[in-house]
Structure 1
């Protein structure tokens, strides 16, 4: 007897059926049977099912003699099922990786409940996945398992069969079956949840619900939408015949309101009822509501009004109110647009007036990454301004959500406000690491400092002209207009200087003084490192891996390139991952290796993450150049090296001069860590050569040199001298002592970097 019986009805889904079946058969939990039901499909669904049945003994083909619809097809699958639990999946949807393993684990944890409800994500034709908006219901606090009476909010989830698994014996004892017609899930899910003696939830996306470009069958005008009345008749008939433990009187008002909500949706959606049938639908709805009405069912006033119109069958009144509501919405939108236009005109006028006033030599305004929080190179320069040139008042431009990141001694301005435009117009110094505000008009005497984003690895600027995948919507004329406003550009090394001057051609002055944001690496103390590790939840004695992958320009969707959970399972409990970026987010939040994957994508201070970690794991992120100045191990995972170079291009050949160990695939990466090679003598020598090439001025005084040159007018001889490598003391790693490691079989033979 298999653990799961996965039932997949198929009718005219030949383009999607192979992906659906593969998503089931490739599950990491193999104890299953797949019942693929061919509902007399006129396309190749039957042949596809037979091919899979011949290939895998877990697949059982069920062919219906004539088309019966989704509900009867599922019933055919249930009659043939032998598993402990039933799992329903439509032929054009897919299970997420490891979904059945997570479901099995949750069933075991909660004592084999009658029903387990899990989450789903809608995936459209572009590949974008959007998680269910009501997912918070699955994570509510409380005991598990429970009955529906304990958490009635579960009824606010989508009432379908494919986001639940149910015990087969319970379903057979209840005598549940899917009816024919549209909305067949309605008389299945409500009785299932109401009758269940035990329910559990799993706050994890287990199903990708495909949204076709042309919409679903329920989004097609058809007279079969009138089936909704018969389906709710079945629901209330169940309540009438339900045994005493079901508490029918308690659920009748709830289901009555749910029915009214559902009827309102069917009636009001333009893609449901055929033209000319709305009045008939309301007449049927009025009779239906009179038959099942529960007086006094609680509901908010707007909901009661809609329900009353449906219940009374006031077709013309409903249409007039809808037209009035639509007119009100259009009027409100027009008013908002007018207000925004008036505000924009007032701000433009204010900016022009401010530009007529003299510049303030004691003002400087800073910003980073289009309104991001305080940090990066502009943040390091702002701190240096206050320290080296305290007579200059500084301001930081950021949105309200990140104002808390700005230090107390710095004025906060919100982009797009009058105060922001005052600073742009009057401040002598404007510092940014991205293109300056396109509304900025540079004044005579104003100094614009472009820090850029660090040492370049992937192609940038004009080098993207022949790389459309990476350039995307880059406006190159606008880029060059922005370059023409720059007075100074920061550079960390000779490689950056030569690159900037070529890809951003202009008349600016390059300040090759180091990377200001790395000054913190030389100034931080062991106490600072310990405090940051505690902030990010890194236990004492744990090796913290900072994982920062680069975006893939050649991919439409940024899916993970590394299975962090598998890696951590192999590395053991001594390792923890601080994951940053969309690609770095764990695929399965609840199975994140016992909490050892910490999503730090939203943390604004990348410098703090570097100090809290013990090793950097990346592929093509330029952060490796900064991290080399911290003199901590760096490991590269480059499984798609050629594809990345073809799409984006690289200035540095990481295969010939890597900053440490390089792994071509996941298994080699695991070998790097389990063998201890990542912190061995060879990797130390590689990192030293890399640091000498790309971190010649990162000695903790880069920001001071920049400020003294720009603000104080100091010449080269008067700037602070560069500290030699052997005298630099970057903040030490918390995992400074060698770890006991277990040599991997491949790593023991020869270093991973030698296998490239």
Structure 2
């Protein structure tokens, strides 16, 4: 058993990288939950988001600039490490329970001559967590022995990820030039080539998160060619180390198989594919082992064509194989076509017409009218880019509510398909239908309609009540059409990346619909209150609860009659929710007549209700994040928080990070509103922290930034900078507006 000097850890776990898709917190939690005294945690945090997450997780945090690459982040972590062994963990991955103890126990058994320990992994996609693959058998064959690469050359076939390898620290420092290589595949296999002896552990120690390809940057031609160069460098390393023929033969087989797979399966321009094939052919000839025999069958033919650099013949061979499989493919295609919606023939015809560069389509809340972020963007578009023509998608039922003079189309009509087909800009706060085609040159702008407290998108998969009826494949197909995603804060940016993993660009510009909270004047606020019938001097409390997926129908959570009676005539409750009023027999009918309760369920826009109110009472609705821009009191009525969090899933604990006072019972809420507690210093203090975090990019100029960036094509650096919260002036309160 190896001996560790007193006071020094046996193992340094180095978590490194950016907070990709909000996964770093999960990674660090999985480490911290099983970190024993003989191990240390070092987080090489790239960028401010990763730094902030790491700071809450303990261990040593190394803040690194946002442009730091993974290799440099690993090296920075290793430099600070005190352990006998190093274990590099990407910020997106996580450790299964018991992984650290299993690794430490195995490391305690290996002799001093062992430089590398190789373990197993599972790979997780957005769909599910998979089982360990072929690596398990290769590791099991080595068992508890320690071997050289010449003795076990098939270890080169083990998935080349550094998270599957523990490296002795002295070994790392002796070979840092190769092991700190930016190409992880090279570094992982170079570790095996450089090691004096290798040990194995046929147990899963890491869950590797495989990100959706659509959420990653496009692979460049040089990156394609780099794969061949990586194999070149590995072969040169094996020759320099005077490795036996068997490891070189295994590496050659890996190179030939992987490069041919890239040509066959990856989408590349023909010129790039031809050049890649040419380079792979040169490497195949250069490194072909003496006496090497090609495999039989189809694979042997592919290898021969590769060695001959016969790209044209290879493509012909590939086409012939595809024709042989044609019948089966045709049957599958027909089956899909039978279940697919056939596009309107007008749409198909319009799709052949040129894209109209000055045509923009807007929709909100499944075509319910002119509202939310799309409405604010459209209004600003009229100021800054009047040459672009906005057209709204509005359902037949909502058509009577469209503002006069608004050009609009009704879903399913001939003009609807024609406009959708030809518009360059398509803006929505939800998603357009599956049938909408993303044309080359068209720009899809996703604005969202709230900051997420509850789990969204793919994150709903673990919550059957919330995800009932959702088709996640169809959802991702819609998400893949996005070019831009608007965000109000860093929290949202990270959660959208995780819930909707795709290739879009995040616009950290703020929510355009919240601009009004910094633009509205005292006269605007008086006008809204007049329309609502709120007399000057009366306190208006906006009550806006959210929907609960686990309730088939609305269950009243407050006795509004009793609450309004307790608060008296000086307070009016603005109740935002159609489910309170089922008919003339409502117990609130008398209260409505007295003016103590006003039903504002059908009132739009909701931003005006916020401006007219002195305080907000809500439970888990995203309105709390928008309302916080006004810097007015917010009370969270969280009587069923545990049930909501368990059945719907949430991204953070609202009780630990509330926007103001939290009432767990109706009595608590009544007491807060009936006294001065609703606007005391304690509520103001937590509201300040809440605003700083969740109103991060909202400063009154969000719509302008979005229009300039998306519709006018201005570069990010030329946009109006976001003002810090302390430099912003929200709209006046109702009390100030009447003063």
Q: How does 1:150-299 map to 2 (within 5 A)?
A: none
Aligned with 1:450 (options 446, 453, 473): 446
Give 1:723 shift.
2.2
Indicate the residue corresponding to 1:415 in structure 2. Answer: 411
Alpha-carbon spacing, 1:731–1:615, altered in 2? closer, same or farther (3 Å): same
Displacement of 1:483 in angstroms is 0.8
Deviation at 1:738, TM superposition (A): 13
- 1:479 matches 2:478: no
Match of 1:560 in 2: 556
Deviation at 1:401, TM superposition (A): 4.5
Q: SS of 1:708's equivalent?
A: helix
Question: Cα distance 1:458–1:345, how it changes in 2: closer, same or farther (>3 A)?
Answer: closer
RMSD of the TM alignment (CA)?
2.2
Tell me: CA distance 1:404–1:702, structure 2 relative to 1, closer, same or farther (3 Å): farther
Asked if the contact 1:628–1:691 (Cα under 8 Å) also holds between the matched residues in 2, the reply is yes
Matched-pair contact (CA < 8 Å) for 1:455–1:622: yes
1:504 and 1:584 map into 2 onto residues whose CA distance is: 34
What residue is the counterpart of 2:287 in the other structure? none
Return the alpha-carbon distance in structure 2 between the equivalents of residues 672 and 574 of structure 1: 15
In the alignment, structure 1 residue 648 sits paired with structure 2 residue 644: no
Q: Is the 8 A contact 2:522 2:736 kept in 1?
A: no
Alpha-carbon deviation of 1:568? 0.7
Q: Choose which of 358, 362, 380 in structure 1 pairs with 2:358.
A: 362
Cα deviation code 1:318-347 (max 9, x no counterpart): xxxxxxxxxxxxxxxxxxxxxxxxxx9998
Supply the distance in 2 between the matched residues of 1:638 and 1:451 (Cα, whole angstroms).
28
In structure 2, what is the equivalent of residue 712 of structure 1?
A: 712
| Distance change >3 Å, CA 346–CA 552, structure 1 → 2 | closer
The equivalent of 1:72 in structure 2 is none
CA–CA distance in 1 between the matches of 2:579 and 2:522? 31
Structure 1 distance, partners of 2:620, 2:581, is: 17
1:727 CA drift (Å): 3.0
How big is the shift at 1:591? 3.2
Contact 1:549 1:584 in 2 (8 A): no
**2:615, 2:441 → 1: CA distance?**
45
Identify the residue that residue 589 of structure 2 maps to in structure 1: 590
Q: CA deviation at 1:556?
A: 1.8
Distance 2:353 2:630 in 1: 45
- Pairing of 1:658-669 with structure 2 (within 5 A): 658-669=658-669
Q: Distance in 2 between matches of 1:345 and 1:488?
A: 27
Would the aligned equivalents of 1:374 and 1:604 in 2 still touch at CA under 8 Å? no
Partner of 1:723: 723
Q: CA deviation at 1:441?
A: 1.0
Structure 1 residue 348 displacement after superposition: 0.8
1:675-714 equivalence runs, <5 A: 675-714=675-714
SS in structure 2 of the partner of residue 598 of structure 1: strand
Cα gap change, 1:632/1:405 in structure 2, threshold over 3 Å: closer, same or farther?
Answer: farther
Query: Once the 2 structures are TM-superposed, how far is the Cα of residue 501 of structure 1 from its aligned partner?
Result: 0.4
CA–CA distance in 1 between the matches of 2:735 and 2:570?
A: 11
Look up the SS of the partner of 2:533 in the other structure. coil
Aligned residue for 1:565, secondary structure, equals helix
TM-score (norm 1): 0.51
Contact kept in structure 1, 2:363 and 2:392, CA below 8 Å: yes
Tell me by how many angstroms 1:580 deviates.
1.2
- The answer as to 2:396 corresponding to 1:436 is no
* Counterpart contact for 1:548–1:584, Cα < 8 Å: no
CA distance in 1, matches of 2:628, 2:735: 17
Does 2:576 align with 1:580? yes
CA distance in 2, matches of 1:407, 1:702: 23
TM-score between the two structures when normalised by the length of structure 2: 0.52
SS class of match (1:592) = helix
Cα deviation, residue 737, structure 1: 9.8
Q: Does 1:615 align with 2:611?
A: no
What displacement does 1:599 show? Answer: 1.3
* 2:533 counterpart of 1:537: yes
Shift of 1:604: 3.0
Once the two structures are overlaid, the 10-residue window that deviates more, 603-612 or 697-706, is 603-612
Give how far 1:584 is off.
4.7
User: Given that residues 565 and 591 in structure 1 are in contact (C-alpha distance below 8 angstroms), is that contact kept between their aligned partners in structure 2?
Assistant: no
Select 1:522's aligned residue among 513, 518, 525: 518
Q: Structure 1 CA distance, aligned partners of 2:668 and 2:355?
A: 58
* Residues 507 and 366 of structure 1: CA distance in aligned 2, closer, same or farther (over 3 Å): same
- Helix, strand or coil for the counterpart of 1:535? helix
CA distance in 2, matches of 1:410, 1:738: 34
Shift in Å at residue 475 of structure 1? Answer: 1.3
Q: How far off its partner does 1:400 sit?
A: 4.3
Q: Is contact 1:372–1:604 with CA below 8 Å preserved after alignment?
A: no
Q: Is the 8 A contact 1:579 1:585 kept in 2?
A: no
Q: Is the contact made by 1:380 and 1:703 (CA closer than 8 Å) also made in structure 2? A: yes
Contact 2:458 2:500 in 1 (8 A): yes
**1:467 counterpart = 2:463:** yes
Which runs of 5 or more residues in structure 1 are unaligned? 1-343, 740-756
* Deviation for aligned residue 1:377: 0.7
- 1:33-432 to 2 correspondences below 5 Å: 348-403=344-399, 405-408=401-404, 410-432=406-428
Q: CA deviation at 1:643?
A: 0.5
Q: Cα–Cα, structure 1 residues 738 and 526, in superposed 2: closer, same or farther, change >3 Å?
A: closer
Alpha-carbon distance, 1:520 to partner: 0.9
In structure 1, C-alpha distance between the alignment counterparts of 2:366 and 2:341, rounded to whole Å: 22
Partner of 2:274: none
Distance 1:580 1:390 in 2: 35
**Corresponding residue for 2:567?**
571
SS at match of 1:356: coil
CA deviations 1:234-261 (Å, max 9, x no partner) are xxxxxxxxxxxxxxxxxxxxxxxxxxxx
- Could you tell me whether the CA contact under 8 Å between 1:545 and 1:615 is conserved in 2? yes
More displaced 10-residue stretch of structure 1: 404-413 or 499-508: 404-413
CA contact (8 A) 1:519 1:699 kept: yes
SS at match of 1:459: coil
Contact 1:462 1:476 in 2 (8 A): yes
Residue 517 of structure 1: how far off its partner (Å): 0.5
